[in-house]
A and B are shown apart, each in its own frame.
Chain A
Amino acid sequence: MNNPLKSLELNVQIILEKRPQASGLMNLCSPMLAILLTVVMGGLIFAAMGKPPLTALYLYFIDPLTSWWSIEEVLVKAGPLILIGVGLAVCFKANVWNIGAEGQFTAGALMGAIIPVLWGEWQSPFALVAMLFLGALGGALFACIPAWLKTRFGVNEILTSLMLVYIAQLLLDWMVRGPWNDPHGYNFPKSASFEGWHLLPMWGDGRMHLGLVVSLVAALVLFWVMRHTLKGFEINVVGSAPRAGAFAGFSQTKMVWFCFALSGGLAGLAGLIEVAGPVGQLQPHISPNYGFTAIIVAFLGRLNPIGVIFAGLLLAISYIGGEGVQIELGISDKTTQVFQGMLLFFILMCDTLILYRLKWISAKPGQQTAGNAS
């Protein structure tokens, strides 16, 4: 028989091992660390493109905060990101994966636009309230499609909610070119411009509007709900321990419906606010991927509504900064998406490494004997 010690072989394996106790401090620092890593990697990418990395990073992250005009623009962009992000944060906390906020955003904009497009003559504050309501309703109803498919047929909601995004976008495209095309618009793909009470109140001469206030109120309300009420407790339990959730009498099915209706409703509201605010009409492109970026916002904000406010502001800066480097240094506007992608990658990586650690295992000689003995 072979001596097992003779057959020494180098065989290294890497596994993820759960840490006995996750560090609370690291858990808080994780977003900071992810941002830092993104900045470092971003600098390397700029350098590789032959651009001065420090200048580029300054333009990207600091310059947007140096003028009132761009700060205002950051706040305008942060509004929809926060509003969609808080909804998604609740969703993800409950382990329900709504990836289709972009589609619900579009559906909300379409539904809310019924009033300015079809009843343009109805001018009253109630018209605006009705638009806001219809926007939220449109997003919620559209989000109920993946909820129904999941609860009725067990279809994976990640796939269905994502695919419905393209349906909503194509529907919008068709509507503005066809039925809702502006009769006085020289056949440009757009609806008639919204007017009067069909637009949100604006401040001063800038583009600041009521949307940011709505977002902050939604974040604060959801913070209270998640932190202090039974509903928040239910979301936590169902998401992290489904069997214990069933023992507590919380229904998994109802939770799926609730999460989709809530996050879809908020995304739809954000969509309506966008078209009744900065955009002012329906057109084929109403969103620079707010619905997808809000996924990053939710994770960067630790799925905590207050955290989402800060994360929303940061991601809004990345939009404005991306435009900045494009103008100043001639770098493609796709860098914005690269930065957002890196940020999500690093935050998920940091989170994983806080809960788990890498372990290199070198197989002990004895384990090789079965294969080598003969």
Chain B
Amino acid sequence: MLNNSNNDAQSTLLQVKDISKKFGDFYANDTLNLSIETGRVHALLGENGAGKSTLVKMMYGALQPTSGTIHWQGQQVSIASPAHARELGIGMVFQHFSLFEALTVVENISLALPPQLRQGDLSQRIADLSLDYGLPLNPAALVADLSVGERQRIEIVRCLLQQPKLLIMDEPTAVLTPQEAQALFATLRRLVEEGCAVLYISHRLEEVKQICQDATILRLGKVVAEVDPQVETAATLAQLMVGASVHQVSRDANDQVGDVLLDISNLSQKSSTPFGVNLVDVNLQVRSGEILAIAGIAGNGQGELFSVISGEECNPNQQFISLLGQVSDGLNINQRRCLGVAFVPEERMGHGAVEHLSLTDNILLSRHACDDTESSLDRGWLGIDRLQLAQLNKVIGTDYDVRKSKEDATAGSLSGGNLQKFVVGRELNRKPKVLVINQPTWGVDAGAAALIRQAVIDLSREGSAILIISQDLDEIFELADTIAVISRGQLSPSYKAGDLSREQIGLMMAGSHEQSAQESGA
């Protein structure tokens, strides 16, 4: 079953023995053991907060272990810094790239290389290497003009120039289309054939099954299992990661689709910031009882679309948006809320909630304007109705399983998953007729994600119209009745979820539906 079981060059490249990392009283890593063999792709799996990043940062010299040892090719080493790690032969591609947009590819790479590697014709070497490994890259191109996938290639090429023996990749496909991901996998297979080892961090289980030969699963800072991903199923892997069987989201066939509650026609909008995305001729309709999901890679106009629909940006002179049958372009976010619309923004901290404020204050944030509570929360000079807020907080906490250190904790003290449950719960508690939700479960653990998705489905089955903007295709297929794809500010037509394959969505993410692409293709 193993692809590379006949690879006789196997030997232990890097071994981590009984390593621990303590932050205050909290063990981010607790006596972990891990060994990586040459010529294999080793998956490191775990939920957010399981300790993956801490472990990897210690391997890359960015953090120092509290106790335990790291052995490189059989010798105990103390990796003092990332530069030291690179000298040993450890390269890392981060999830968030650190590139200068105003510089060219070759300039960016040159900046990150030690001087002895900068000599000679660097751009020629970059061109050769990128061609050789199937990572097409123009060394003279400006980074600002490149797609996210191309930017990732810069980071990979930069690592490869230093001829690493171990390449660490932190969730590399999070920003890629399915097609780009497949191209990346081909490169990784090639590297492994040449004897390089890859440590692959991900929580996308299908991918791990596809390219990894070994897998180590972390939970709460400890290794819970070392498995062969080829024999496990995605479900068993998920169960090991979460520690309990994950609640399966259930959904009846959707037969009760009613009136159009959210209608956007021919919306074009120039971005208000220089680096934003212009929305071009966006059309969409969401009916009562329907869930429409908008897929797309981050930064293709999702944020702009959200702020136009939410009314954070309102345009009194236009007539593009209709909410519950009423032209709403000129209404501000609170007027739209009062029509029965609710919004969940992408960033929970700083946008959907304020870190240093209590949960009750954070309820007030989106609930102060409309009379969907027993009596208005805002009593003018008499002050805010704290009693009612406390009751609301209790109800939301119970209904949406928000786990907190005390009843009215600050938003900042909640974990990501619990804060997301709170932010979603705060809106769903209003029983909105229309819900617009951007990245409902981004960076949230599987348990919380399942709860949120189920709550969203339940709301739609009660007759609400729901618009989801998401990067996560698994989530989209789990939730959506209809799917549209956004790319560079242009939205594709909506399709029945059953009529689309991942490959088709991937093509649209890459822009196949865009007007200019269609014209040149015709």
Contacts and interface: CB of A to CB of B under 8 A. Distances in A.
B378 A230 contact: yes
A237 B80 contact: no
B384 A247 contact: no
Contacts of A237: 354, 357, 365
B83 A370 contact: yes
Interface in B100-153: 114-116
A369 B82 CA distance: 11
Given A243-B351, A369-B87, A374 B116 contact: yes
Interface residues of A, number: 28
Contact of B333 (A229, A241, A247): A247
Given A4-B84, A247-B343, A249-B333, A369 B114 contact: yes
Interface stretch (A109-117, A158-166, A359-367): A359-367
A244 B353 contact: yes
A157 B366 CA distance: 29
Contacts of A1: 87
B354 A240 contact: yes
Contacts of B332: 249
Contact of B356 (A233, A240, A246, A364): A240
B453 interface: no
A373 interface: yes
Contacts of B345: 247
B84 A228 contact: no
B352 interface: yes
B87 A365 contact: no
Contacts of A373: 114-116
Given A230-B378, A241-B355, A373-B115, A247 B365 contact: yes
A244 B80 contact: no
A236 B24 CA distance: 31
A230 B345 CA distance: 22
Given A247-B345, A247-B366, A249-B369, A233 B81 contact: no
A233 B80 contact: no
A330 interface: no
Interface in A326-374: 364-367, 369-371, 373-374
Interface string B304-342: 000000111000000000000000000011100100000
A213 interface: no
Contact of B312 (A20, A246, A366): A246
A233 B361 contact: yes
A16 B312 CA distance: 34
Contacts of A243: 347, 350-351
A241 B350 contact: yes
Nearest to A227: B383
Given A230-B384, A233-B384, A247-B365, A366 B333 contact: no
Contacts of A240: 354, 356
Nearest to A251: B332
Nearest to B81: A366
Contact of A241 (B80, B343, B354): B354
Interface string A231-273: 0010011001101101111000000000000000000000000
A66 B93 CA distance: 70
B365 A244 contact: yes
Interface string A1-39: 100100000000000000010000000000000000000
Contact of A244 (B83, B350, B369, B380): B350
Interface of B: 24, 61, 79-84, 87, 114-116, 310-312, 332-334, 337, 343, 345, 347, 350-357, 361, 364-366, 368-369, 378, 380-381, 383-384
Given A4-B83, A246-B333, 20 more contacts: A4-B84, A4-B87, A228-B384, A230-B368, A230-B378, A236-B357, A243-B347, A243-B350, A244-B350, A248-B334, A249-B332, A249-B337, A364-B84, A366-B61, A366-B80, A367-B80, A367-B81, A367-B84, A370-B115, A374-B116
